[in-house]
Structure 1
Amino acid sequence: MCGIVGVVNHEDAARCILEGLQRLEYRGYDSAGIAIVGAQGKVSIARAEGKLSNLTGKLADAPLAGSTGVGHTRWATHGAPTEGNAHPHRAGRVSLVHNGIIENYKALRAELSAAGRSFASETDTEVVAQLLDRYLETGLDPRSAWLETLGRLEGAFALAAIIEGEDGLLLGARRGAPLVAATSETSGFLASDIMAITGEARTVIYLEDGDTVFVRPEGIEICAPSGEPVARPVNPAPASMAMAEKGNHRHFMQKEIYEQPEVVGRTLSAYVDAEAGRIRPVEGIDFAGMSRLLVVGCGTASYAGLIAEYWFEAMAGLPVDNDIASEFRYRDPAFLPGDAALFISQSGETADTLEALRLCKAAGLKTIALVNTPHSSMAREADVVVPTLAGPEVGVASTKAFTCQLAALASLAVLAASQRGKLSPEAVEAEVASLMAIPAQMNAALAIEQEIDQLATELAHASIVLYLGRNVFFPLALEGALKLKEISYIHAEGYAAGELKHGPIALIEDDVAVVAIAPHDALFAKTRSSIQEVRARGARVIAITDKAGADELDSEASAILKLPDVKGLAAPIVAATAVQLLAYYVAVHKGTDVDQPRNLAKSVTVE
């Protein structure tokens, strides 16, 4: 994840910001920068490609002195990883840093360009800086200009900004990406992660989604998007790095669920050229020349591969064979001319998957590794590496790694469809727009957390839970059942809804819990029939659906979890958030060890 650090009224703002960014280095980045309000209120900026050491070297030659500033480590999204695209971005009096995606930046950029403003970068971030400066030019005070600016933005993001001539003011906002505000005896802070200011801050406010914040030496003001003040709990700042890593979350798993809008957006941006409305080609992969794609993984990774099988075949017309890695090499697989093999692993060290890769490589197949760890064994040995950018995942039960795998696979499916002539450029552009909207949609899906928490109190007493789905929601049902059994120890099974009559329906009796993933899509009527079948036999049905589905299932489901209206590739990625939260809260109410469930390891490196 990109890193944000801001400070106001500090004896050495540059040092404080650099030390904070260093604590976030492990998350990955490709450029860094810092802006400081110096003497006479003037802002100076230093930026550099590559590691923080490059920025530190620049500052050693030309120090930036001042008490207020912002800093950033960037992973390139819109625009290449160049110094010109690095944050902070300046427009007039404004210097600004940003995590996330501004979905409507093209329209805003066109509007601002028509008004005579010129742009120095390729980023969506600069649009925000230009917009804020424009409102300031109209005579609005900083508070009003900031609120007006935020009201124009669409997407999932966190922002921090300083204004020339305003030495005692730091502006911030959180919309779907993490941001905290904090204080010491004399200073105020903003950061994307409390780890960045551990040791400096004495109290911390974990901002809630939608919060706008103004940090001044005399205190912190938080308001809603309307500008109405809101109160948030003030907590003691964590005293150690270990405590800081979880922030205000009870478990790492919960934190990682909530990081998904940001890290999925970051992963998508590695594949999507939003400006051009296309998927960037991946060097070494030619989907047009493939006769078949073998997809191999274990556990959650294998379910990501199953969802991708539906996408590649339906969208790109590319035949896919999906295998569990632990069985693949022992069944003596037969290979065909033109075969390529894709291996999915969070760690890149999964023993069975690594051995399957070696088998395919020895057979002469093109091998592709989809991994979250760029220097892993699989990454080193595969012909092509396609990364997921989830960042470190501590919880044993995979959450953000899974949705980042799906984000990468969805992007590759669109690329395959384009290369194989199955999608026109206009259709590709529409798919790209849909993909880039996913972070904001995931953020909206997380808003039903309280409903899930309440529902989980009852589900925690179940002895068996069945998950049902059709099409891409069948693998998601398998993943939902896996999550529940992993961390709550409740026996759970996932089934294709159409297979009920072929055996599983015998398990249905009074009060058996059934979770039906049933968005109002082309197969909704068939899924609804399955819901009616189990309901007639006494099952307690929990439906995960959208508004249209909720309306039709109102009298048929015992409980309904209503998600945003999402179609196409985005749908299973957004629905995964509800599936994960349901498992998480059931485990919390059962009192199990959520982050380190019994008998399981994060990375399985032995057979």
Structure 2
Amino acid sequence: MCGIIAAIGTEPVLASVLRGLQNLEYRGYDSAGVAVGLDDSLAVCKRAGQISALVDDVRAELPDGTRAIGHTRWSTHGPPTDANAHPHTDCTGRVAVVHNGIIENHEVLKADLRDHGHRFTSDTDTEVVAHLVEQCLEAGDETGVAVRQAIDRLAGSYAVAILVDGDDRVFAARNGSPLALGVGADTFYLGSDAPAFVEYTDEVVYLEDGDLVTLSPTSFEVSNDGQLVTRPAETIDWTPGDARKGAYDHFMLKEIHEQPSAIEQTIRGRLTDDGVRLEELEALDFGAVEAVHFVACGTSYHASLYCEQLLRERGVDAQTFLASEYSGSPPPVDERVLTVAVTQSGETADTLEAVRIARAEGATTLAVTNVVGSTVTRACDHHLLIRAGPEIGVAATKTFTSQITALVLLAERIVQDRGTDIQGYPLDELAALSDNAARTLESPQAEAVARRYADADSFFFIGRGPCYPVALEGALKLKEISYEHAEGFPAGELKHGPLALVTPQTPVIALFSGENDRNTLSNVREVQARGAPVIGVVPEGSDLVYEDFDDVLTVPDTAPELTAVLGNLQLQLFAYHVADALDRAIDKPRNLAKSVTVE
């Protein structure tokens, strides 16, 4: 998704805006640009391509100033060209705008503006904002009024930041697209999320839909529906170093290796001698819940499938829905349903729409997310943070593991409140998960195996029970960053169609948990009979014979439910090393964005 950065203060801010653009690269982009407010003009530099080239051009071409806005664009309206890159300006060059989201009524607005003599130079929906502000200024409106009048005419999702020549302020607004305000000692920042400016301040104000922000060099104010409002500042609990690669070649590899600490952070304070204690959810009576509906997309959907299985095994009616399909045919929902929205960013548009539908039907809603102050935490009745820390790589790794860990705690709390006699989750083993994850990541097996199969035509991932969602996730991770074909299946479904695709060039990665392993082994025999090599992901101490496989990735012996979680770490390493062997852009895979904020 596109990224916004802006800064205003009493000292020059261009360097911090350029640094903010670099911090936003992980979100995915194909062009970028900057506008600087000077004493008597605006200076703009924007380019298709990499930020590194833009930075060189900006330093050579633009003077510094005390207010600036920047943007990383992910193409929607029009191809990635210099003309379509943000910031966009009006006819006179007096107004500069950066924008995330989609302005749904831009064609109507553009037609009206053209009728009034405005000339457009890009294919984007964003450019209408600059011309709307220009039109209001020409009508004699004061700058702040002109901005508000322009924003009021927009329909759709947006976060915008605006500079106007001759005015020493920065204006911004949000509706359905994330925007955060950073409060520094002598500078204010705007960013699509906190990593854009975290090295300059840890004090963040999370803006809400309908907010219009006016920033001066020394103060700011927030209004909503024409009324001044107060939004509390929060202190983020991670440091700039958390959002840097350090000694690792890629953010993804760093974040894979951060999983033991991420698991520990998710669990900390939530496991007691009496079971699970979730302080955030003390007011929620799970005993009154008759059914649990998960809504999620992508990796979060796979984590939800895992938790659905846990609940169903323990007598709780649970279902998982793809959020992108939910609005078309939502299930029957009432006040007896707990709808759990699982989203790493807290800004996933499809998931937020599913939440709105569920709430309208009377369901209690609960967000499971990684981002404090994200939209989903305000859209839901309750929220549970996974506490994984910042994740910069586009492909989710530690957030998936932390989602599963948080959802396990949630499932156990639901079972506790319902007072069922069903055997609970192995909480002692959950407490040891961090240590077992560290042991798994110490293994060098995955790199050698990955390089052996990097040139394969296709990859199949299979598993049963809790291994099935992990098989789906393993396939997704591989296709995301290697661009190779990969599919995940329930192991028993191979013979119902996919087996036709198996060849000696189709490695099959089979996950074993210690339960139903003999059935999965029968499926392994089926693919071996067709010449396919098999990589077994196997718990140590298993009675499986390792010679049954062409290659083996082992994980520490633990409860069957958690074996799958550890197996996922091996699959992440496998995907990473395949992509590395193929020289892919691992942290910024093509066509993908970290946060999907449009439906």
Q: TM-score, normalised by structure 2?
A: 0.58
Cα distance, 1:242 vs structure 2: 8.1
State the partner residue of 1:501: 495
Please give the residue correspondences for 1:23-62 in structure 2 after superposition, counting only pairs within 5 Å.
none
2:556 counterpart of 1:558: no
Please give the residue correspondences for 1:391-406 in structure 2 after superposition, counting only pairs within 5 Å.
391-406=389-404
Check the 8 A contact 1:292/1:339 in 2, yes or no: yes
Q: Deviations over 1:478-502 (max 9, x none)?
A: 0000000000001000000011111
Kindly provide the amino acid, as one letter, of the partner of residue 581 in structure 1: L
CA 497–243 in structure 1, closer or farther in 2 if over 3 Å, else same: closer
Please give the residue correspondences for 1:501-520 in structure 2 after superposition, counting only pairs within 5 Å.
501-519=495-513
Q: 1:458 aligns with which of 423, 429, 452?
A: 452
Cα distance, 1:276 vs structure 2: 4.4
How many residue pairs match? The answer is: 364
Cα distance, 1:597 vs structure 2: 0.2
Q: What is the distance in 1 between the residues matched to 2:320 and 2:554?
A: 31
Q: Deviations over 1:484-541 (max 9, x none)?
A: 000000100000001111101111122311000113x220000110111111110010
Cα distance, 1:413 vs structure 2: 1.3
State the partner residue of 2:343: 345
CA 471–343 in structure 1, closer or farther in 2 if over 3 Å, else same: same
Q: Deviations over 1:183-232 (max 9, x none)?
A: xxxxxxxxxxxxx99xxxxxxxxxxxxxxxxxxxxxxxxxxxxxxxxxxx
Q: What is the distance in 2 between the residues matched to 1:341 and 1:474?
A: 23
Report SS of the residue matched to 2:547. Answer: coil
Check the 8 A contact 1:290/1:339 in 2, yes or no: yes
Report SS of the residue matched to 1:246. Answer: coil
Q: What is the distance in 1 between the residues matched to 2:481 and 2:278?
A: 37
Q: What is the distance in 2 between the residues matched to 1:322 and 1:332?
A: 12
State the partner residue of 2:406: 408
Q: What is the distance in 1 between the residues matched to 2:519 and 2:301?
A: 26
Kindly provide the amino acid, as one letter, of the partner of residue 247 in structure 1: G
Cα distance, 1:336 vs structure 2: 4.6
State the partner residue of 1:389: 387
State the partner residue of 1:271: 270
State the partner residue of 1:314: 313
2:532 counterpart of 1:535: no
Report SS of the residue matched to 2:442. Answer: helix
Q: 1:327 aligns with which of 300, 308, 325?
A: 325
Q: What is the distance in 2 between the residues matched to 1:565 and 1:410?
A: 19
State the partner residue of 1:186: none
Q: What is the distance in 1 between the residues matched to 2:511 and 2:243?
A: 35
Q: What is the distance in 2 between the residues matched to 1:580 and 1:494?
A: 14
Q: What is the distance in 2 between the residues matched to 1:325 and 1:284?
A: 26
Q: 1:442 aligns with which of 430, 437, 449?
A: 437
Check the 8 A contact 1:410/1:569 in 2, yes or no: no
CA 477–244 in structure 1, closer or farther in 2 if over 3 Å, else same: closer
Q: What is the distance in 2 between the residues matched to 1:416 and 1:242?
A: 36
Check the 8 A contact 2:441/2:569 in 1, yes or no: yes
Check the 8 A contact 2:367/2:382 in 1, yes or no: yes
Cα distance, 1:327 vs structure 2: 0.2
Cα distance, 1:401 vs structure 2: 0.6
CA 547–334 in structure 1, closer or farther in 2 if over 3 Å, else same: same
State the partner residue of 2:163: none
Cα distance, 1:595 vs structure 2: 0.3
Cα distance, 1:284 vs structure 2: 3.5
Q: What is the distance in 1 between the residues matched to 2:403 and 2:396?
A: 11
Check the 8 A contact 1:271/1:408 in 2, yes or no: no
State the partner residue of 2:254: 255
Report SS of the residue matched to 1:481. Answer: helix
Cα distance, 1:417 vs structure 2: 1.7
Cα distance, 1:475 vs structure 2: 0.8
Identity among equivalent pairs (%): 38
CA 331–277 in structure 1, closer or farther in 2 if over 3 Å, else same: closer
Q: 2:594 aligns with which of 581, 602, 605?
A: 602
Kindly provide the amino acid, as one letter, of the partner of residue 447 in structure 1: E
Report SS of the residue matched to 2:429. Answer: helix
Cα distance, 1:568 vs structure 2: 3.9
Cα distance, 1:596 vs structure 2: 0.4
Q: What is the distance in 1 between the residues matched to 2:507 and 2:299?
A: 22
State the partner residue of 1:160: none
Report SS of the residue matched to 2:548. Answer: coil
Q: 2:427 aligns with which of 429, 432, 437?
A: 432
Report SS of the residue matched to 1:552. Answer: coil
Cα distance, 1:286 vs structure 2: 2.2
State the partner residue of 1:583: 575
Check the 8 A contact 1:414/1:431 in 2, yes or no: no
Q: What is the distance in 2 between the residues matched to 1:387 and 1:332?
A: 26
Q: What is the distance in 2 between the residues matched to 1:363 and 1:355?
A: 13
Q: What is the distance in 2 between the residues matched to 1:334 and 1:385?
A: 23
Kindly provide the amino acid, as one letter, of the partner of residue 310 in structure 2: W
Q: What is the distance in 2 between the residues matched to 1:248 and 1:510?
A: 38
Taking only aligned residues, the RMSD between alpha carbons, in angstroms, comes to: 2.4
Q: Deviations over 1:312-349 (max 9, x none)?
A: 1113x111111000001111432255111000001100
Cα distance, 1:304 vs structure 2: 0.3
